[in-house]
Amino acid sequence: MNLNEANRKRLESMILEHHLTHAAPYLLQNTRQTISCTKAVAEDYTTPGVSRIGGDPDLPPHIEWPLTTDGVPMTFLTQLNLKECARYDESSLLPGEGMLYFFVGLDEPAYNIEHRVLFVREDQLAGAERRVAPEMTVLEEEFNGYQLEIKASLEAPNYAYVDSDQVENETVDYEEYEDFSYALSDRQSSEVVRMFGYPIGQHDDAEYEAALMLLTGEEYNYSKKDALAQITDHFGGDEAAAMQETQDTLMLLELESDNDVGFCWWDAGLLHFFIRKEDLLAGNFERTYCSLYSS
């Protein structure tokens, strides 16, 4: 990912501070510009249209509450005010205004989870106000709402995605690289939402799983090689196009378990939402993929 000048300078400074100059080319190439959201104050719903996690969404009258295929109301997760996000979207990926809403069906199984991502343009938000679900939602719980505070962040490859041979040497081990990563991202304990970073997990294959399902509708068999072959077939044998597609499958949202909100994804895991870069830049949120990671 291409870093803007300010982020490049900050990264270079952090690389020097943490004695990682041997890994500078790798980190400059693979560090991502991200958006992070932390819990601010408990929501009192006096100001509609703010970025929020949990609780109830602010929906305009013409938007219907998303239902599962069984006709049960989905559970509201978060709404993101894109005007707020745009100030921190240093890669210019998101629409500059409007609102994104995330809803989920049951959190089982952990792959291809039923969900909806709604994008409502700014000119369609008139009359948006707090909307309570028409009946108990699919997760059968009520969750506490919190306003979100948004900031820009940088993220180096995490445990699942880092090439250890690139960052470790005779004097720097993985723990020291991890210290660098935490300092770079300035991650807060109250952080609950991240966008465009590296998905947390045990393996570096989440984008392969998402790309395979989004393009072909086929389930992932936990083999990157097989997934790439299937995606290559989709592109008429063009492996370069298939590789580019996996690289252009972006983590639109990562949502943490959080005791204050009441979200707990299996054993305190995370929900991941993915989107094709092509769709994201076109403002098309009708085709996304949702999965769950829990240790």
Nearest to 11 by CA among 191, 185, 197, 176: 185
Q: pTM of the full predicted structure? A: 0.96
In this prediction, the residues of the chain whose per-residue pLDDT falls under 70 are 1
d(CA 227, CA 241): 13
Terminal CA-to-CA distance of the chain, rounded, Å? 28
The predicted structure's pLDDT at residue 1: 60
At 37-49, the pLDDT tens digits run 999 999 999 999 9
